[in-house]
Structure 1
Amino acid sequence: MARHIYHAAVRWSDMDAYRHVNNVQYLRYLEEARVDMMFTLGQREGAKTLSEGVVIARHEIDYKRPLVWRAEPVRVETWVTRIGAARFTLAYEIRDDEQVYATALSVLVPYSLVEQRPRRLTEDERTYLDRFLEPRDESAGRSAPA
């Protein structure tokens, strides 16, 4: 299966007093990658309803090493580890060719903005997400998303 690849710019404003990327910025990189995967690519590939309402139920992130400002973007690899009836899990690596800076998981729930409640995944959404499916070894523990 394929991983979605997104290149996130490391901005000078992402830096904190310790001269490395602030922890909250990592979540922004994940969001940028997720939006690109579900909204931009998903709409082009027939899963248009993913952009009409998906909410985050949970985030989990493990910081592996400091990321400092640099001119080249950092790569965010995203894949699906689980697809349920009304939720799915994304795993991520924020990395470059040499190092992994962070690994993360997000549990997402399709949501009807009109009805203001969670909904089930559609068949088109499941088909789209299945392209990125790499089932996770559950015996590895919750804090090891990659």
Structure 2
Amino acid sequence: MRTQQEFDQAFPVQVNIPVQWGDMDAFGHVNNAVYFKYFETARLAYFNAVGVMEDMQADQLGPILAETHAQFKRALVFPDQIIAGANVLENHEYGFLMQYGVFSQQQQAITTLGTGRIVMVDYNSGKKVKPTEKLLGLIAQLQQSHESA
């Protein structure tokens, strides 16, 4: 995946985010911890697109980030406008594996790829639960509508 077109094909949910001066560290590039905030922004946009946050408020069943990973390909610097994308790669018994990407408008390149393992949790009991059929259906519908677009 190298071009914006390939990025657009890979990520059905995308968010435009300006790189802030305060995102940079003493080495003059965006600090590595900030990328996880970019991933979080894309993840929450994805969750909103499939109604996870509404279900969480109604039923107290929601996602928790169990594991995350980033692969840094290029440094980001201020000023820039990025696109953070999210996608579900795999469904698992108690959640799913998400993929994230960061595309730099200034560099016209993908700067970062990442993953996050999401586990669904009953916030009343603190125990993991299986994703609902409704949620799995909405994820499949979002993925399919994006692939056919």
Asked if TM exceeds 0.5, the reply is yes
How much has 1:32 moved relative to structure 2?
1.0
Instruction: State the partner residue of 2:78.
Output: 69
Equivalent AA in structure 2 for residue 63 of structure 1 = F
Q: Take 1:50 and 1:41, find their aligned partners in 2: how far apart are those partners?
A: 14
Instruction: State the partner residue of 2:102.
Output: 94
Alignment of 1:49 with 2:55, yes or no, is yes
Task: In structure 1, list runs of 5 or more residues that go unmatched.
Answer: 135-146
Task: In structure 2, list runs of 5 or more residues that go unmatched.
Answer: 1-8, 145-149
Pick from 92, 100, 116 the counterpart of residue 106 of structure 1: 116
1:6/1:75 contact within 8 Å kept:
yes
1:50/1:125 contact within 8 Å kept:
no
Instruction: State the partner residue of 1:17.
Output: 26
**Paired-residue identity, %:** 21
How much has 1:133 moved relative to structure 2?
4.4
Q: CA RMSD in A?
A: 2.2
How much has 1:83 moved relative to structure 2?
0.8
Instruction: State the partner residue of 1:137.
Output: none
Normalization by structure 2: what TM-score?
Answer: 0.78
Deviations 1:42-86 (A, max 9, x none): 33xx8732565211111111000100011x520012111001221
Q: Aligned to 1:108, what secondary structure does the other structure show?
A: strand
Instruction: State the partner residue of 1:129.
Output: 139
Q: In structure 2, do the counterparts of structure 1 residues 47 and 129 end up closer, same or farther at CA, with 3 Å as the change threshold?
A: farther
Deviations 1:63-116 (A, max 9, x none): 00100011x520012111001221101101101352111000000001111111
Equivalent AA in structure 2 for residue 69 of structure 1 = F
How much has 1:35 moved relative to structure 2?
1.1
Pick from 32, 37, 42 the counterpart of residue 33 of structure 1: 42
4+ residue runs over 3 A deviation: 131-134
Higher strand share: 2
Higher helix share: 2
